[in-house]
Amino acid sequence: MQLYKYTSLKEVILKIYRDSGADRDLNIDDLAYWAYEALEGIASPLVYESKIYGHKEDETWDFDEFRVKLPSDFHKLRALSVDGITAIPSTNTYHEMLDGTCCGWDNVSSSAIETYYDNFGNAFSPSAEPITPPTKQGLEPITFNITNNHITFNVKSGKACMAYWAFPIDDEGFPKVPDEYVIKQAVSAYILERLDWRLFRKGIISGDVYKVSLRERNWAMAAAYALARTPDEHQMETMKNISLKMVVRKDEYLSAFRNLGKQGQRGRY
């Protein structure tokens, strides 16, 4: 289902104090990290926030040395473009050479004309000039790699724009939790199990008591996992439109999937 609201981790922490009857201060850093682990365990993209970086003249994404640095809350890439052109993942072994060369190779395509022949003897070249005028994308597609907290392109300069899933973080740097009862229950059950695990390792509580916490955590996490993957009526409508499209297009990736959920009509997309 679609998750629309987030709440502070403090709400979950207050629930933990109520449920556990803790009479001591709990380490807030430990609780925040365990909350992060719980959200990762649910492992649904909808747990994260959808963000777009590089719009509204954000100067940090005007690059002139092939690379841009990932934002600190980056979790997973959704789409990436440079100067309005969709970038695709690189398959070039020498992509990371930037503007250098190695044994005659560079990080884009070879300047030599490569000729291939099909089974009928017809010659063609992927690097030859096209018969029709090239588009603004040119002959060489824009490609990228993501390594070491940076995005590296095969073009030296441009303006990048990225849609990505971000870790939901509040103003104090702590993770936010989707404001959904089942997910809040899962996060609190996960944290309580971690606290009881410490007590069990120290011999303060018995193995039977810890097994109760573990069983409650497993049930709560499984319920949240299933909830996050159960489509609501809006998502089901999109799924129906995708499956009943009159014309299936093969270039949805290059158009950022903008028409994927539209059923379409004759004469349009």
Residue among 13, 26, 68, 75 at smallest CA distance from 49: 75
- Give pLDDT tens digits for 65-81: 888 888 888 888 888 98
DSSP assignment of 189-238: HHHHHHHHHHHHHTTSS-HHHHHHHHHHHHHHHHHHHHHHHS--HHHHHH
User: Would you give the DSSP letter of residue 13?
Assistant: H
95 — pLDDT class (breaks 50, 70, 90): confident
173, 43: one domain: yes
The boundaries of the domain holding residue 101 are 50-166
Average pLDDT, the chain: 78
- Give pLDDT tens digits for 214-235: 999 999 999 998 888 787 777 7
76, 132: one domain: yes
Distance, CA of 155 to CA of 87 (rounded, Å): 11
Taking every pair of Cα atoms in the chain, the longest distance, rounded to a whole number of angstroms, is 82
The rounded Cα 102 to chain-centroid distance in angstroms is: 33
- Whole-structure pTM over 0.75, yes or no? no
Distance, CA of 53 to CA of 79 (rounded, Å): 11
> Is residue 129 in a domain?
yes
Element (H, E) at 108: none
- Give pLDDT tens digits for 34-92: 988 888 888 755 567 888 887 666 666 788 888 888 888 888 888 898 888 888 888 87
Average pLDDT over every residue of 153-174: 84
How many domains is the chain built from? Answer: 2
58, 137: one domain: yes
Structure-model confidence comparison of residues 211 and 132, the more confident one: 211
